[in-house]
Amino acid sequence: MFMDSDSDGWDEVDEKETAVISCIFCKEQLSSLEYALLHCKQNHQFNLARLKHKFKMDCYSYIKLINFIRCENVEPSILMNSSEPAWDNDRYMKPSVPDDPWLMLDFEDLSEEADSDAVPIILPKEDILKAQIEELKKELDEEKHRNLAVVDAVGEMRQVMQGLVSGEEGDKNAKHKKLSIHQGSNECDDDEDDSYFETYAHFGIHHEMLSDKSRTEAYQAAFEQNKDAVNGKVVLDVGCGTGILSLFASKAGASKVFAIDKSEIAYSAMDIIRENGYEEKVKVMRGRLEDFKDLPKVDIIVSEWMGYFLLFEGMLDSILMARDQYLSKGGLMLPNRCSLHLVGVHDEDRHNHLLTFWTNVYGFKMSCMRRECTKEAMVELVSADSVFTTTATLLSLDLNSCSPVDACFSSPFELEAERDGSLTALVGYFDVHFDLKLPVVLSTSPLAPATHWKHTLFLLEEPIPLTAGSKINGSLECSRQAKNPRALKVSITIEGHKSKVYYLN
């Protein structure tokens, strides 16, 4: 129904207007949901009933699926071949299209046996609303548990900080985390953000990042070797930390720099800027990016936003929000381009140390622990000597045009063995590019100098023997975890082998 602007009441929409159903994958118009389902099956090889059976979906999952398809413009083949329901995220409970006719399907009555002939039953809007209300109630209950988890996380982080001060286990336990301002349903609550920002108030993390020569010198080179692109420009430094990038920009000739950081390190940044005589050029502002409503348009946005496996921590959201709100037309994003890669490694010693160990523990079998060891992706340095396959590119992002939804993706990959050996793990790494007159590339590849990001290791439960020239094909799906939008869920499928889900927490 719609409200006529010249009327005091509601008018009924003509029945013929509600009879047209648009395909969720193309522009085809169908006369009913029955024909829309048949069209999707015949023309797009999208079998909804089979998908329901495969993932044991309920009506809530169906609502998320439809909204996921509309939000992400995902190909039907990716949905049908996926090993995990990538749409299983509460943010997809919010309808993407008002009064979406696809949400009127009586999904519970859809059976695989009858999927080609069954006439879908139209579900009243009231029932859809009830389902969404029930889901929101469940979210509120989960929120209570998350608040309790935050208290535990703060305690753990304090222990990490103590380790950094004493030099004990700091590098192993302290995960390099950054400011993340999530939008929409991915938004973290204030308590989670506050405890998160506390980690950046400690000098140890900044010492680690500044000591990373590959990382810091790449930014320095981008500014110093391209002063013509910076001279006289206004710069926004998002998540400025100690202000090192603001200092690089100022020294290169920027007329004004707005440096923003939510953590208490912003107070130290103010002192550092003053100590180096740039207080007239650099304005340090403590707070979240969205807290500042009077920021002007800027010519350059710079940030060191990358996390493990490039996307861990979700700071990309903040950078893209800054771009959309504050970057002038034709302005620069530094870095402006990034890519995520996958490579295979052969390291039997490491595999035996972590997994074969459980085969015989003081005369006892503990094989179940092998599965536990491979649930989480590991962040550690991988030896260049262990790399024995070609590299596959999983994701390429243009920071001038990409959107936050691009952080959730599915990508096929093919790796070719460069010598005989056993594939014991897959390793993820990323490159970032400053495409300027004198371009600069920062690589975190195992073949490049080590960085504080190290490498993301996806350990295989069983090694895969390969001979030189042989290829393995597979796919990798990456999404944010529903309960922690900063964390990642990675599903890897290798042809001929069982799919495996890894969590990057």
pLDDT tens-digit series, residues 441-469: 999 999 999 999 999 999 999 999 999 99
In this prediction, residues 374-391 reach a mean pLDDT of 95
Domain boundaries, the chain: 14-123, 206-334, 337-504
Instruction: Tell me, yes or no, if 313 is annotated catalytic.
Output: yes
279/270 Cα distance (integer angstroms): 8
The answer, yes or no, to whether residue 177 has pLDDT greater than 80, is no
56/50 Cα distance (integer angstroms): 10
pLDDT tens-digit series, residues 139-170: 555 554 455 444 444 444 444 444 444 444 33
103/101 Cα distance (integer angstroms): 5
70/92 Cα distance (integer angstroms): 10
| Residue 117 pLDDT class (50, 70, 90 cuts) | very low
Per-residue pLDDT at 135: 56
Q: Check: CB of residue 502 under 8 Å from CB of residue 376.
A: yes
The DSSP-derived string for 337-356 is EEEEEEEEE--HHHHHHHTG
In this prediction, residues 180-207 reach a mean pLDDT of 48
| Residue 171 pLDDT class (50, 70, 90 cuts) | very low
Buried b (16+ CB within 10 A) or exposed e, 226-264: beebbeebbbbbbbbbbbbbbbbbbbbebebbbbbbbbe
Q: Check: CB of residue 337 under 8 Å from CB of residue 389.
A: no
The secondary structure of 137-206, three-state, reads HHHHHHHHHHHHHHHHHHHHHHHHHHHHHHCCCHHHHCCCCCCCCCCHHHCCCHHHHHHHHHHHHCHHHH
The answer, yes or no, to whether residue 93 has pLDDT greater than 80, is yes
In this structure, what token pair is assigned to residue 488?
Answer: 């990642």
CATH code for the part of the protein at 206-334: 3.40.50.150
CATH of 337-504, one of 2.40.50.840, 3.30.505.10, 2.70.160.11, 2.40.420.20: 2.70.160.11
Buried b (16+ CB within 10 A) or exposed e, 440-456: bebbbbbeeeebbbbbb
Q: Check: CB of residue 499 under 8 Å from CB of residue 474.
A: no
In this prediction, residues 36-61 reach a mean pLDDT of 88
Q: Which of 72, 75, 108, 304 is catalytic?
A: 304
In this prediction, residues 108-119 reach a mean pLDDT of 54
pLDDT tens-digit series, residues 388-427: 999 999 999 999 999 999 999 999 999 999 999 999 999 9
pLDDT tens-digit series, residues 239-271: 999 999 999 999 999 999 999 998 888 889 999
Instruction: Tell me, yes or no, if 380 is annotated catalytic.
Output: no
Q: Residue 94: which of 37, 57, 136, 52 has the closest Cα?
A: 136
489/312 Cα distance (integer angstroms): 10
DSSP 31: S
Report strand pairing: 327-334 vs 298-302.
parallel
Q: Which of 126, 313, 376, 462 is catalytic?
A: 313
Per-residue pLDDT at 296: 95
3-state SS assignment for residue 71: helix
In this prediction, residues 475-500 reach a mean pLDDT of 93
Does this model's pTM top 0.75? My answer is no
Would you say the CATH fold of 337-504 matches that of 206-334?
no
